[in-house]
Amino acid sequence: MKKLLALSLGIALAFAAAAQETFPVNGTSNKNHTTYAFANVKIVVDPETTIENGTMIVKDGMIIAVGAKIMIPKGAVIYDLKGKTIYPGLIDAYTTYGMPEVKKVPAWGPQMESNIKGAYGWNAAVKAETEANKIFTDDSKTADEMRRLGFGAVLTFQKDGIVRGTGAVVSLGDGRENELVIKDKASAMYSFDKGSSSQDYPSSLMGAIALLRQTYLDADWYKKDKSKKEYNISLESFINLQGLPQIFETTDKLNVMRADKIGDEFKVSYIIKGSGNEYQRLDDVKATSCKLIIPLNFPIPYDVEDAYEANNVSLAELKHWEMAPANPLALEKNFIPFAITTADLKDKKDFWKNLRKAISYGLSEKQALRSLTITPAELLNLSDKLGKLQNGMIANFIITSGNLFDEKTVIYENWIQGNPYRISDYNAVDVRGNYDLSYGPNRNTYQLKIEGEPEKLKATIIADTAKAPATVAVSGNSISITFNSKELAGIVRLSGNLNKDPLFMNGKGQLPDGSWITWSATYTSALNADVKKDTAKKQPPTYGQVIYPFCAYGQKADDRDGFDKVVNDFKNRYDAILIKHVTVWTNEAEGILKNQDVYISEGHIVRIADDINASTLAFAKVIDGTGKHLTPGIIDEHSHIALISVNEGTQASSAEVRMGDVINSEDISIYRQLAGGVTCAQLLHGSANPIGGQSAIIKLRWGRSPEQLKFAGADGFIKFALGENVKQSNWGDANVIRFPQSRMGVEQVYYDYFTRAKEYDAKQKLSALSKTGAAFRRDLELEAIAEIMNKKRFITCHSYVQSEVNMLMHVGDSMGFQVNTFTHILEGYKVADKMKARGIGASTFSDWWAYKMEVKDAIPYNAALMASMGIITAINSDDAEMGRRLNQEAAKTIKYGGLSEEEALKTVTLNPAKLLHIDNKVGSIKVGKDADVVLWSDNPLSIYARVEKTIIDGQIYYDNEQDLKLREEMQKERARIIQKMIEEKKNGGATQKPVVRKQKLFGCDSMQEDYLETQ
Amino acid sequence: MKKLLFIITLFIATISEAQTKSILIMNATAHLGNGTVIQNSLIGIKDGKISLVADATTAKIDKAAYDEVIDATGKHVYPGMIAPNSTLGLTEIDAVRATNDFREVGSSLPNVRSLIAYNTDSKIIPTVRSNGVLMAQITPRGGIVSGTSSIVMLDGWNWEDAAYKIDDGIHVNWPRIQSRKYLDEDNIYPGPYEKNKEYSRQVNELKKLIGDAKAYNETETKEEKNLRFEAMKGIFTGAQTLFIHVNNVKEIIEAVSFVKSNSIPKVSLVGGRESWMVAELLKENNISVVVARVHDLPDRPEDDVDQPYKLPALLQKAGVLFCLNNEQGEMEAANTRNLPFMAGTAAAYGLTKEEALMAVTLNTAKILGIDKTVGSIEVGKDATIFISSGDALDMKSNNVEQAFVKGISIDLNNDQKALYEKYKKKYGLK
């Protein structure tokens, strides 16, 4: 064994001796190959392996031996570290250490093109060419800060853009960059944030996603294209990124799933930089199988003492404050691999405080260490160099006074690449304790108590019952004590020597009158107050449960505590429901049926009959519908709720963007609309451009994740828009650059895009048949438009005046497509015959008008008139407020134009179902259809009607009685957390002022620009 | 007494004496607007005033005494609804700047008067009165003191003869503790809420303005004439109402304590979304509330889902005098025609139907200080009433067949109906 060790030492020596460098030396060279031995020390090799009393040998920046019985080579500098512990140096896999500052210069007015000069790609947010290793410079101030926390190596990258190029792993030592770079191309970096790019596109989250998607396709084409007519640095670089670990930054739990979805499309497994709220949708995060890098940015308490102001702190904020420290625990319990980063901390000094808080919530120390050593090393493919204390690894390690995770523990030294960085002196004498102090001419004895942190000592002089504070300063082996003596009426200053073993101090001092005296202090006992405190503290904190969604009116998934089992399976859901004696608005040939029983099971309507015997149906919830009305769920054909962003209006066409990418399952509007009987909605892109984005059709399954909200199997739709919004008439004088600016231009946009899409489609079909295998560039924008002509995607077109409506119908006639639905269509009554002839549907407002020039001729009789002409006519909301009383809006078609009550109800149920091609599943109460129904207190078209229950897929998603319970629970939960917050404030915690957030927008600031009114 | 009379003649402007017929409306369900319903009623109109309100099952009546007899069997009669805090006639098309006359430059403009900009020929007005809204308080917007409102009848050749009560109130927008800036110059993209750092400065400025105006109006000899101060005279005497547009509870508390300390006799809050939280305080101080748009969203995700719907019922229960309005910014003038349905929604969420009706008729008249002459169907009051074939608070049955302003039957046609008829004809529809 000894022999083997000697042999390996020899090899290491030989290798080290061969190291050479290029830099000339000014003066005499200073080659240093000292061997360092750290002996008699507890060595934590990795989270699983600890050597209680071992030795570690370091030479030339590398660990060359670690073990319990290691022979120390001759001529080694030996550090006897008895009582101390060595840990691997910590690794932070997400920093911008040593990167130049990113400056954003906002564009003045619209900027359609990239302003980066050179042979780069078209969009300035794709910065694939950035290489952190080339722009990294040593930053000793930040390095020092990180070293004090115990870090030895970090991944660093330029935090700018959607594609951010490569990250580099660098050492936190001081010195020449040439020696600090450990791995030059360690990772590829991505985000949804366009960063410093002042180019308009993308202005929204869905635009960012579309851009990334298209970049993958472009790179693929670029790689295969042999002609290389286009030289593109950005794409070349993007291709080169692909072999590296792919790290994607997210700013919210829902973005984890969004990133993963892109990864699935392009067969990339991202490492996700999380935001700290992953516990809020843990099962979805787990299902991604992504590895995470998570921050410890726990929020500080809000100032909630003023009861009125406290109302402005949302339930989500209160609960997140309480639960954020449990995020690492939740991940650990669910076996989701994660690294921990210092990123996102406002003050890096909070790192240990917060990590210890996470541990107090239950995170294991082993996992914490793993997340700071082995896991980041693995994520960056550096397991052979960093993260453990093993032979052949880089000599990054820290020397501590004991268990790294203990509050009392001090990090003495942080060794990086074999060089020591002293943080505090481990030879320093710990002077804390109780002493007998005697001084002065009479050598009276007093009690001296020294306590506090080694760096910040506090002392007290006690004479009988009188106490006087004293200042104590220790430097090496000398000590000084200063205090105000009442007895002597002035300041006494004592200086002297420290004797370590046994603890004893003595020396000389000066009294207030200037006379010199001698003094001494003898250690009598250790401090004992702290012991009590420690045992009292061990109680792990308690906290509430996760609710789905994580906001007001969210519900617990089940009654379990903590994060042991995550199955998002909601309670209070029923397999079967029987509604008795209810008036049923069938929307079928049967019309309105009185006193019926409706049986719902496994998500479908199973039976409608005069009398269904409840006792024959096991497990059915029975609802008495006497005097009540049951209608199909309301379908809002035109909605913008439950979205992170609405418009990608930076170009005349944004056909490539998908609303399905940006569904926001945590939007309170979902719940509010359920309370208005809405079960289904088409989430449309805004109307900022002639060709908008692809719609998402959802069911309002409150609590479920974005993917679970989607209406399975629904046809694809796309938003088009005409008129004032697309020609930017009301956007102010700066917006006169983007084409089109008139209705004339709008027509040409369509002809141009459809012509190009037609050609594209032909080429694509040809390419599929071709045997040459020539590279074909997939263009997601043209593909979406080609789908329209191939009848695979359907148009919902925002429209107002007759001229433009007529125009688009003609474009359709000549290009071979048909508009599916004209939405808004306030002058539809003027061209109803033309629409009818083409079988085009209409989705309109009941009575909106006079808000802009193009709605001057809008009339509330429009819907009834179009319906009378045989056009499938729906009433929509386009408004989160009106969306929750669409039954009232439907009823206006009775007042204005005299539709029958049945026809009126159809404008918000069966007709929109038809327009969305989902009438085979929803829109009427018919055996076999989805059980999406609403129970009303009254005739649903009456203003006095209230929703009692909203049922989707046979499950109750809104219940007016449950609603009252939720309010009560919410109030209790808020009160509980507020009490806790005030307690924390009293204990000296910092607080932040509450600010109302009416609409919570996820994603980065740049995403807020697209919060656009859309009528 | 003489003095009082003088004030009345000053504020109730003379309206051209049109020839009015005497009319008898028989057998309708009369909703008097004061909480009373007469299932089978007799309502007489003479000289523009209501001359008879009786139960047809008990009262004897001489039909021949009337120029016209209307059989309204199965129909409903209501007092004309009143839209307080309205920009009707001050705007035509929201997005077209040239049509907007409700906002002036500057932050303290009590002397700016809405009445003279009120366009009786606005195309919006006929669409509003055809749903039963027959009067409105025309109100300027913007700034801290937006200006002076006036009350008009929604029928008239020009503002002069539409005027009902001239310069009835001064409108103040209480500064906001939290403010929300728009991210663009056209106020399309709202940014996040931020604490208003200017709040205390703005409040102090407002307090100083009103304090100075009070002192000015109490001074016998004015050194120099100040039009702004003069315009506010009425709020100190009680001749005008001070309308404070305010929603946040803390702002409400501060506003109430301020008007109290300045002993302003007639005060009403406009908006008052959080007024229910301090209902006792409002009741004690006799402060009424012109309730924010009922068809609106709650402020915070945590708020009760039906919070705006049930706010009227909360105030009713607390005994605070309130009425409904339609202020909403965009489309507020055009949407005034939905005022009856806001009352309907309030009835669905806690008010009785008659209480809901009061919230758009008699309560409004009380708050606007015109309840002596309008707001309910009572003998001696103006015959500003309408007949609907069904429940007027419910959109599925609201169908105004006839309406009278001061006893004169008004035209219920509008451009929208005309376009409807035109295209029905085109398509050969009945």
pLDDT recorded at residue A169: 98
The answer to whether B145 and B108 have CB atoms below 8 angstroms apart is: yes
Integer Cα distance of B68 and B24 in angstroms: 6
Q: In 3-state terms, what secondary structure has residue B163?
A: strand
- Does the beta-carbon distance from A672 to B297 stay under 8 Å? yes
Q: Are strands A456-463 and A444-453 parallel, antiparallel or unpaired?
A: antiparallel
* Within a domain: A958: no
- Of the listed ranges A19-33, A47-61, B10-24, B303-317, the least confidently predicted one is B10-24
Q: How far apart are the first and last CA of chain A?
A: 81
Integer Cα distance of B100 and B319 in angstroms: 37
Nearest to A852 by CA among B57, B331, B293, B403: B331
Contact residues on chain B for A945, CB-CB shorter than 8 A? 348
pLDDT recorded at residue B355: 98
pLDDT recorded at residue A993: 73
- Asked if residue B6 has pLDDT above 80, the reply is no
pLDDT recorded at residue A999: 47
Nearest to A370 by CA among A399, A405, A394: A405
pLDDT recorded at residue A106: 77
Contact residues on chain A for B340, CB-CB shorter than 8 A? none
Contact residues on chain A for B302, CB-CB shorter than 8 A? 311, 314-315, 552, 970, 974
The answer to whether B32 and B79 have CB atoms below 8 angstroms apart is: yes
Q: Of chain A residues 966-995, which have a CB less than 8 A from chain B?
A: 967, 970, 974, 993, 995
Domain boundaries, chain B: 82-374
- Does the beta-carbon distance from A943 to B348 stay under 8 Å? yes
* Within a domain: A7: no
Domain match, A327 and A245 both: yes
* Within a domain: A425: no
Of A853, A894, A1013, the CB nearest to B396: A894
Nearest to B26 by CA among B38, B36, B40: B40
Compute the Cα dihedral for A216, A220, A225, A228 and give only its sign. Answer: positive
* Within a domain: A813: no
A835–B contact, CB cutoff 8 A: no
- Does the beta-carbon distance from B186 to A731 stay under 8 Å? yes
Integer Cα distance of A301 and A860 in angstroms: 51
Q: Residues A1006, A1011, A1012, A1013: what is their CA dihedral angle, to the nearest 10 degrees?
A: -170
Give the architecture-level CATH label for domain B82-374: Alpha-Beta Barrel (3.20)
Mutation site for B-interface testing, chosen from A317, A826, A943, A995 by largest number of B Cβ within 10 Å: A943
- Does the beta-carbon distance from B345 to A885 stay under 8 Å? yes
Integer Cα distance of A883 and B173 in angstroms: 29
Q: Which of A383, A401, A416 is the last residue in one of the domains?
A: A383
The C-alpha of B390 sits at a distance from chain A's nearest C-alpha, in angstroms, of 10
Q: Where are the alpha helices (DSSP H) in A703-742?
A: 706-709
Domain match, A236 and A172 both: yes
Integer Cα distance of A571 and A577 in angstroms: 15
Domain match, A198 and A344 both: yes
> Which residues neighbour A796 within 8 Å (Cβ) at sequence distance 6 or greater?
A637, A638, A682, A684, A695, A717, A718, A719, A720, A820, A821, A823, A843, A915
* Within a domain: A689: no
pLDDT recorded at residue A186: 98
pLDDT band at B4 (very low <50, low <70, confident <90, very high): very low
Written as one letter, the residue type at B3 is K
Looking up residue A511, the CATH number of its domain turns out to be 2.40.128.120
- Considering only CA atoms, give the Rg of chain B: 22
Of B331, B341, B424, the CB nearest to A851: B331
Phi, psi of B86 (to 5 degrees): -120, 150
The C-alpha of A358 sits at a distance from chain B's nearest C-alpha, in angstroms, of 28
Integer Cα distance of A337 and A331 in angstroms: 7
> Which residues neighbour A166 within 8 Å (Cβ) at sequence distance 6 or greater?
A130, A131, A132, A133, A157, A184, A185, A186, A187, A188, A189, A241, A244
pLDDT recorded at residue A110: 85
Integer Cα distance of B387 and B375 in angstroms: 15
- Cis, bond preceding A502 (omega within 30 deg of 0): yes
Integer Cα distance of A312 and A998 in angstroms: 9
Domain with A148, as residue range(s), is 90-101+121-383
* Tokens found for residue A114: 């990239």
pLDDT recorded at residue A1015: 39
- Does the beta-carbon distance from B250 to A309 stay under 8 Å? yes
The C-alpha of A294 sits at a distance from chain B's nearest C-alpha, in angstroms, of 27
Contact residues on chain A for B301, CB-CB shorter than 8 A? 314-316, 551-553, 668, 1000
Domain match, A345 and A203 both: yes
Written as one letter, the residue type at A872 is I
Name residue, tokens 């829109």.
Answer: A923
Low-confidence stretches of chain A (pLDDT beneath 50)? 1, 4-17, 530-532, 534-535, 560-561, 566-567, 571, 998-1015
* Within a domain: A544: no
The answer to whether B140 and B150 have CB atoms below 8 angstroms apart is: no
- Does the beta-carbon distance from B302 to A860 stay under 8 Å? no
pLDDT recorded at residue B38: 98
The answer to whether B333 and B117 have CB atoms below 8 angstroms apart is: no
Number of Cβ within 10 Å of residue A562's Cβ equals 16
Of A734, A944, A998, the CB nearest to B348: A944
A881–B contact, CB cutoff 8 A: yes
Break chain B down into helix, strand, coil percent, rounded to 5. 30, 25, 40
A849–B contact, CB cutoff 8 A: yes
Integer Cα distance of A935 and A1007 in angstroms: 38
Number of structural domains (chain A) is 2
Domain match, A378 and A438 both: no
Nearest to A258 by CA among A670, A777, A657, A682: A657
Q: In 3-state terms, what secondary structure has residue B311?
A: helix
Looking up residue A188, the CATH number of its domain turns out to be 3.20.20.140
- Does the beta-carbon distance from A730 to B194 stay under 8 Å? no
Contacts 24+ apart (CB under 8 A), A598-602: A598/A625, A598/A630, A598/A925, A598/A933, A600/A576, A600/A931, A600/A933, A600/A951, A600/A954, A601/A575, A601/A576, A601/A577, A601/A931, A601/A954, A602/A575, A602/A576, A602/A954
Nearest to A9 by CA among A66, A89, A80, A81: A66
* Within a domain: A3: no
Helix A315-323 to helix A960-986 angle (10° resolution) is: 50
Domain match, A284 and A197 both: yes
Domain match, A308 and A239 both: yes
pLDDT recorded at residue A1: 46
Domain match, A364 and A437 both: no
Q: Of chain A residues 889-918, which have a CB less than 8 A from chain B?
A: 891-892, 894-895, 897, 901, 904
Per the prediction, chain B carries an average pLDDT of 92
pLDDT recorded at residue A178: 94
Q: How many CA atoms lie within 13 A of A183 on its CB side?
A: 25
Name residue, tokens 């998570």.
Answer: A294
* Within a domain: A185: yes
- Considering only CA atoms, give the Rg of chain A: 35
DSSP 8-state secondary structure symbol assigned to residue B64: G
ipTM: 0.94
How do residues B140-174 score in pLDDT, each as one tens digit? 999 999 999 999 999 999 999 999 999 999 999 99
* CB-defined contacts A:B, below 8 A: 172
